[in-house]
């Protein structure tokens, strides 16, 4: 069994920004504690969607901390705060929140080996975290990740201009376009609210649509912040700031547009190996899409991650 405790962590980002970060802490009830795991969710969703996976890891000996990013879930104090990060530093507040929550976890359990797992936007935040405090971790798992594409720097700068002009604007065009671009490959299927790309599992898509904290509209500010962490975490020379003692596991669906259908994942693996990281393993699941942890064979993914974690602490 796993014991789950929830609460709010007070975080002072700058002189005018105090966040109450909603978190869930999962601890094993009756097994030897093997290590800690920071688990970071993706964009336009929340940590509650990882309850099953976090509980699985806790039942198998790991202390797991999940939390809602700024502008997401219960960290957003008010519905109007959903989809907005920080007017001046939207990317930085995502990274600093992750670092502060990591330190909160590590200070409580400082004598254990530490891991970090990030999905989608959480994977790009994770890449930034390990550039700064990577020495604190034994291993890194990136799920539904990818690589900055050509023109990312220009695109991020453009979003920065939009953020200066109208940070609170929730552009229907921007939000719809993001989904439509991701859904292009699946245009021959019956369109499921432009969410076909999310998973092969249709029930998961319905659950996402019926969750009021999922599919939230992003402001120009949030799109800018997401673009910043993606560029910093996967653009030119990102890997040169990563400690090469780390072990990596990258998992993606072969049909995941965020990973450019495997190409972005392979490129990230090649860069890490070029940097001298000794252990980089990856697995592209045939036919599966973005949310591996919510596909029909999610237990297979759970077990692959668990087996890899256990190998790292032997």
Share of the chain above pLDDT 90, in %: 91
Between the alpha carbon of residue 36 and those of residues 50, 51, 116, 137, 246, the distances in Å are 16, 16, 8, 10, 15
Mean model confidence pLDDT for the chain: 96
Neighbouring residues of 24: CB distance < 8 A, sequence distance ≥ 6: 4, 5, 6, 47, 48, 51, 54, 65, 66, 67
- Boundaries of every domain in the chain: 2-312
Q: How confident is the model at residue 151 (pLDDT cuts 50, 70, 90)?
A: confident
pTM (two decimals): 0.97
What is the CATH T-level fold of the domain 2-312, as seen in this structure? Rossmann fold (3.40.50)
Residue 170 has pLDDT above 90, yes or no: yes
Q: State the residue for tokens 């201009």.
A: 161
Residue 1 has pLDDT above 90, yes or no: no
Q: State the residue for tokens 């797992």.
A: 117
- The answer to whether 40 and 116 are in contact (CB under 8 A) is yes
Quote the CA–CA distance of 267 and 92 in Å, as a whole number.
Answer: 25
Q: What are 241-283's pLDDT values in tens digits? A: 999 999 999 999 999 999 999 999 999 999 999 999 989 999 9
């Amino acid at each position: 069994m796993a014991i789950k405790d929830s609460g709010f962590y007070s975080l002072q980002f700058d002189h005018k920004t105090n966040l109450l970060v909603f978190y869930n802490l999962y601890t094993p009830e009756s097994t030897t504690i093997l290590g800690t795991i920071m688990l970071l969710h993706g964009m336009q969703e929340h940590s509650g969607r990882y309850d099953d996976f976090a509980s699985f890891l806790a039942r198998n000996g790991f202390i797991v901390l999940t939390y809602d990013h700024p502008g997401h879930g219960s960290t957003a104090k008010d519905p109007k705060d959903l989809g907005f990060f920080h007017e001046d530093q939207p990317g930085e507040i995502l990274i600093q929140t992750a670092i502060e929550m990591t330190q909160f976890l590590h200070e409580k359990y400082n004598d254990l080996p530490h891991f970090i797992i990030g999905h989608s936007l959480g994977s790009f935040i994770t890449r930034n975290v390990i550039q700064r405090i990577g020495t604190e971790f034994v291993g890194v798992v990136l799920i539904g990740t990818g690589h900055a594409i050509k023109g990312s720097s220009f695109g991020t700068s453009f979003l920065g201009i939009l953020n200066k002009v109208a940070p609170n604007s929730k552009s229907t065009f921007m939000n719809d376009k993001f989904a439509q671009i991701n859904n292009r490959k699946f245009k021959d299927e019956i369109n499921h609210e432009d969410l076909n790309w999310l998973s092969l599992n249709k029930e998961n898509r319905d659950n996402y649509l019926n969750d009021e904290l999922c599919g939230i509209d992003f402001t120009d500010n949030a799109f800018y912040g997401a673009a910043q962490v993606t560029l910093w975490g996967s653009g030119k020379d990102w890997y040169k700031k990563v400690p090469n003692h780390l072990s990596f596991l990258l998992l993606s669906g072969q049909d995941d547009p965020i990973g450019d259908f495997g190409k972005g994942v392979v490129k990230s693996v090649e860069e890490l190996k070029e940097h001298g990281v000794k252990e980089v393993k990856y697995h592209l699941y045939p036919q599966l899409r973005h949310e591996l942890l919510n596909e029909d064979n999610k237990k297979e993914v759970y077990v692959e991650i668990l087996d890899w974690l256990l190998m790292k602490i032997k």
